[in-house]
Amino acid sequence: MIASNLAGDNWISRHFGFLWAFRRFRKSSGVEVDISKLLPTFLKKKVTDPLEYGYKAAMFYNDRKGWGQEEYGTNRFYLDAPYGIVLSCSKDGGEAIPIAIISFKRKGLRTIRIEQIQGPSNCKEDRASDRVAALGKIKWERLLVRIICEWARLNGLKRVEVISCVRSHWYQKFMHQSMFMRYDVTARRMGFTEIRSKKIYRLKLKTAT
């Protein structure tokens, strides 16, 4: 389980937290999410020690589409939705590099829709190898989706949706085949149900107890 910094740790928050969850998220930009217990689940085979790259995740909010903010480590990404998580790494305690993000928007009272799963970020050429190597050791797409699902569950939301790659304007513009793996395959592997008529995948969440 992800640490309770994703939600208020009481019965009211777990059952009615959706009423103020988004306001709390907006005020939590830059706040780190504890993924230490979750990370081992998403290590790739033969990877036993993720500490080398010092993975960290933090919440961010951007009030409009466009480039993110440097103070939250999202300035290297063009954001498609306002709420999200940025994943960074810091090899051997060095300078942190933002390497991937996931962003979502609100859809109705108790549903959110993931609009963006992106990585790797641009970075200085002398750190590019660290970025690629760090992402290569973890199932980072599923890790980020899991963090969002856990936040939603802990805050009393009922559904999480992921768009099919064909709904992304980036896919329509560039036809990146990797986007099918990143969006559609990730959603399927995580138990989301495909709704072909809407070109989305949907997961119904169990209420936190």
pTM: 0.87
- Number of domains present in the structure of the chain: 1
69-124 pLDDT, tens digit each: 776 677 778 899 999 999 998 877 777 888 999 999 999 889 999 999 998 766 55
Q: Would residue 193 count as lying in a domain?
A: no
CA distance 42 to 48: 11
Q: Would residue 162 count as lying in a domain?
A: no
For 84, the domain range is 4-157
Q: Would residue 192 count as lying in a domain?
A: no
Q: Would residue 201 count as lying in a domain?
A: no
Q: Would residue 97 count as lying in a domain?
A: yes
Residue bearing the bigger pLDDT, 21 or 175: 21
Q: Would residue 170 count as lying in a domain?
A: no
Q: Would residue 202 count as lying in a domain?
A: no
